[in-house]
Chain A
């Protein structure tokens, strides 16, 4: 007996053949990507990310854990989900533990089924790393793994992300090709460009629709790049 698959494919194969014409995706992006410097890209990235309510801080390799701790303290975050076995998670644990009123530190060390209720109702924020960034539209590339599962960037109401500016690409195409995504995608990868939002009620924009209400990005600048030069539009 023929299956639905056979019948559908047979119908499609019986249709007139139109010789495929190869679109020049690479050529388009080569032509539409003027050379940029890292500060250019960072300014564009920040402008776009902030335009969609992302909270963005510039920092450096030595100082970011202090900044993270200050943000957690200022926002009165009572619990932080993080991955202490990652290098950035390890440093975050140290910095957050030194706060006067240290937040509860949680680790995603068991399958979600075992602690779904707590994940939904008992975690104020999650802190994760990121794989890359996209300047032109503003977006972070997340590459969740066993250490930092995908729901960390989704369920807690605040998502704190560390982003290394050196991994900021001009656009989606450059990020994808330079990093060879097609050669190996994880179970789930993501572009994220702000807190969860909706305009489904009378076209009125509201944040915190289902996922994080706040997206806080700590941009790790090269040591010789002064954040002050990025805040001023030249």
Chain B
């Protein structure tokens, strides 16, 4: 990977950002409410745990099979798309992807691009790249549009403006949309956004979109959405450029059935989205609308690094539903921006290190209690806590122990002092004599235990050892007599 990735999303200290976020009562309240809402919606779609488990087993199996064949499927996808008249491009890095996309637009003298929701385009910071080269890129997903007007980044992969209140949006629209009155009525706000964006659709010469599934068998790009903005972007401008990560390819058309069945249920608690858009070709000679040129950009950006490791490869099973963040107790309390990365929450913690390197993201794998709420709801059964533990290991890996296929930034959290603390801990807890001596001291000198215990006592009473350990008490204890069976409940 190139070095620019480290500066592309400079992760401002996660600690500082999460500290600020967790102490912001408005943010806590808005995220808390939104997460309760999304959790309840999802739960309503899976009333039967066994039914969910079965569909998830199938979805996981589909994703695993597709990943097992990934290089072959990418080639097949390319062949099939090309046969259908869709151009395929490959990019290893965000810079390559940006340059490719800008090149396509510049060749057609494009000036105005409308964009459907695409986290991969966020990943490469496409808007800024195009803007700097005279191409205006308008986000058209209502949430993305709001976030763009505010000059911010999405705080959630499915609901980008989840951190904004009606009043925030009312003020934004009033300020940025010509002649828009100030209103906090949601229907009225949506109409304001609709009218402004429909002007852009009408005028745009380029449409940019993401892809939810790319079907190798038929050469089809699938887009999942409710708003219709994705259809606008992929139907009206004469040039459509889709961008996606290399892991999004599926083998067969029937593979999308279970994945599309479980995606909206997991994401927003909908049985189905308003639109499921399958694009298989550019406009044909007898057709009267649709883009005359369709391009797909396949982006690596660290995905092949995750792929190179059989355990970490599971990261790529993700279908980007956002259920992990909706159920994450950490995300709930700090929101999406505190992570400092495009993908927040649990999926961000496991995917960002591959995109940005462990040096820039070393705090992210630690931002979890490993409670597993994420893996419980993951529609493709990614063992997120196990992957977090693995990434913690890789971040802490000592320089003397570097494997053949390294992860970028491996060993970034390694500190000699920390390593010695753990070695000391292992020496004490790994030897009965050492442990006995330690616990004897800790209990006998319990009154000397510091009353201020770092982060622990910021919110809790100090931990004071008991006067005698369980070990000691049991050495003196005689077993109680076995109970008489008649004391059992009748």
Is there direct touching of A and B in the complex, by C-beta distance under 8 Å? yes
Asked whether A25 lies within 8 Å of B254 as measured between CB atoms, the reply is yes
Of the stretches A84-92, A97-105, A185-193, A218-226, the one at the interface is A185-193
Chain A: residues with CB nearer than 8 A to chain B? 3-5, 7-9, 11-26, 28-29, 32, 48, 52, 108-113, 116-117, 120, 136-139, 145-146, 149-151, 154, 171-173, 176-177, 181-182, 185-204, 206, 208-212
**Structural contact, B226 and A185, CB atoms closer than 8 A:** no
Among B65, B74, B161, B202, contact of A116 (Cβ-Cβ < 8 Å)? B202
Supposing A4-B90, A182-B252 touch, asked if A21 and B61 sit within 8 A by C-beta, the answer is yes
- B-chain residues with CB within 8 Å of residue A18 when the two chains form the complex: 64, 67-68, 310, 313
- B280–A188 CB distance below 8 A: yes
User: Which residues of A lie under 8 Å from residue B293 when comparing CB positions?
Assistant: none
Q: CB-nearest residue of chain A relative to B191?
A: A208
Interface size counted on chain B using CB atoms at 8 A:
97
Quick one: which of A11, A116, A145, A186 contacts B307, CB cutoff 8 A? A11
Please determine whether B68 and A182 come into contact, CB atoms closer than 8 angstroms: no
In the bound assembly, the distance between CA atoms of A138 and B189 in angstroms comes to: 28
Cβ–Cβ < 8 Å partners of B281 in chain A: 186-188
Given contacts A182-B253, A210-B194, contact A139 B272 (CB under 8 A): yes
Least CB distance from B1 to A in Å reads 11
Residues of chain A within 8 A (CB-CB) of B275 are 190-193, 196, 211
Q: Which residues of B contact A201 (CB under 8 A)?
A: 142, 146, 161, 164, 166, 169, 186, 189-190
Which residue of B65, B202, B280 contacts A21 across the interface (Cβ within 8 Å)? B65
> Would A16 and B290 count as touching, CB distance under 8 A?
no
Q: Give A85 to B274 CA distance when docked, in angstroms.
A: 28
Of residues 268 to 302 in B, which have CB atoms within 8 Å of A's CB atoms?
Answer: 268, 271-284, 286-290, 298, 300
Known: A11-B308, A211-B227. A200 touches B191 (CB 8 A): no
Q: Do the beta carbons of B280 and A200 come within 8 Å of each other? A: no
In the complex, which residue of chain B has the Cβ closest to the Cβ of A114? B288
B227: chain A residues within 8 A (beta carbon): 196-198, 200, 209-211
**B228 contact set on A, CB distance < 8 A:** 154, 196, 209-212
Most buried by B among A14, A21, A190, A198: A198
Smallest CB-CB separation from B143: which chain A residue? A200
Q: Which of B58, B284, B308, B313 contacts A23 (CB 8 A)?
A: B58
Contact A208 B190 (CB under 8 A): yes
B residues whose Cβ falls under 8 Å from a Cβ of A: 33-34, 37-38, 54-55, 58, 61-62, 64-65, 67-71, 74-75, 90-92, 96, 140-143, 146, 159-162, 164-166, 169, 186-187, 189-191, 193-194, 197-198, 201-202, 217-218, 220, 226-229, 231-232, 234-236, 238, 246, 252-255, 257-258, 260-261, 268, 271-284, 286-290, 298, 300, 304-305, 307-310, 313
User: Which residue among A5, A111, A116, A149 has the maximum number of chain B CB atoms within 10 Å of its CB?
Assistant: A5
Q: A108-B288, A117-B202, A154-B231 are in contact. Are A190 and B276 (CB under 8 A)?
A: yes
Residue contact B220 to A185, C-beta cutoff 8 Å: yes
Contacts of B186 in A (CB 8 A): 201-202, 204, 206
Contact of B235 with A188 in the complex, beta carbons under 8 Å: yes
Given contacts A7-B92, A194-B274, A209-B226, is CB(A151)–CB(B235) below 8 Å?
A: yes
Residues of the B chain whose Cβ atoms lie less than 8 Å from the Cβ of A211? 227-228, 231-232, 274-275
How far apart are the CA atoms of A208 and B197 in the complex, in Å? 12
Ranked 6 nearest A-B pairs via Cβ: A211-B228, A23-B61, A200-B143, A20-B68, A137-B272, A196-B228
B310 near A12 with CB under 8 A, answer no
* Interchain CA distance A67-B193 in the complex, whole Å: 34
| Known interface pairs A15-B313, A21-B68, A149-B290; 16 further A-B residue pairs with C-beta atoms within 8 A, sorted by A's residue number | A12-B304, A21-B61, A25-B255, A32-B54, A48-B271, A120-B198, A120-B202, A138-B272, A151-B236, A176-B257, A191-B272, A199-B268, A200-B146, A206-B187, A206-B189, A206-B190
Q: Which residue of A lies closest to B74 (CB)?
A: A9
Contacts A12-B71, A149-B287; is A198 near B92 (CB within 8 Å)?
no
A to B CB contacts below 8 Å, 11 in the list: A15-B313, A21-B65, A21-B68, A32-B54, A154-B228, A172-B257, A185-B220, A187-B290, A200-B159, A201-B161, A210-B197
- In the bound complex, CA of A84 to CA of B220 (Å): 30
Contact A185 B280 (CB under 8 A): yes
Chain B neighbourhood of A177, CB < 8 A: 254
Known A-B contacts A21-B64, A196-B274; A112 and B159 likewise in contact (beta carbons under 8 Å): no
Pick from A19, A145, A172: contact of B260, CB below 8 A. Answer: A172
User: Which residues from B are CB-within-8-Å of A200?
Assistant: 141-143, 146, 159-161, 227
Distance, CA A156 to CA B278, complexed state (A): 20
Cβ-neighbour of A188 out of B70, B193, B290 (below 8 A):
B290
What is the bound-complex CA distance between A120 and B141, given in angstroms?
A: 19
Verify B71–A150 contact, CB threshold 8 A: no
Residues of B within 8 A of A154 (CB): 228, 231-232, 235
In the complex with contacts A25-B257, A200-B160, A210-B198, A112-B58 CB distance below 8 A:
no
Q: With A187-B287, A206-B187, A208-B190 in contact, do A196 and B68 touch (Cβ < 8 Å)?
A: no
Q: CA–CA, A51 to B49, complex, Å?
A: 24
Residues in chain B near residue A116, CB distance under 8 A: 202, 236
Complex Cα spacing A50 to B281, Å: 32
A187 vs B84: C-alpha distance when bound (angstroms): 9
How many Å from the CB of A187 to the closest CB on chain B? Answer: 4
Q: How far is the CA of A160 from the CA of B205 in the complex (A)?
A: 29
Instruction: Judge whether B96 and A4 touch: CB under 8 Å.
Output: yes
Known: A210-B194, A210-B227. A199 touches B159 (CB 8 A): yes
Q: How far, in angstroms, from A49 to B136 measured CA to CA in the complex? A: 37
Nearest B residue to A148, CB-CB? B288
A188 to B54, CA, bound (A): 31
Contact B198 A25 (CB under 8 A): no
Q: Which of B193, B274, B307, B313 contacts A197 (CB 8 A)?
A: B274
The residues of B that contact A173 with a CB separation of less than 8 Å are: 254, 257
Query: Which of B38, B58, B226, B309 touches A25 (beta carbons < 8 Å)?
Result: B58
Please indicate the chain B residues that have their CB under 8 angstroms from the CB of A188 in the complex: 234-235, 277-281, 290
Task: Tell me which residues across on chain B come within 8 A of A4, comparing CB atoms.
Answer: 90-92, 96, 300
- How many angstroms between the C-alpha atoms of A145 and B69 in the bound complex? 34
A139:B90 contact, CB within 8 angstroms: no
CA distance A4 to B88 in the complex (A): 12
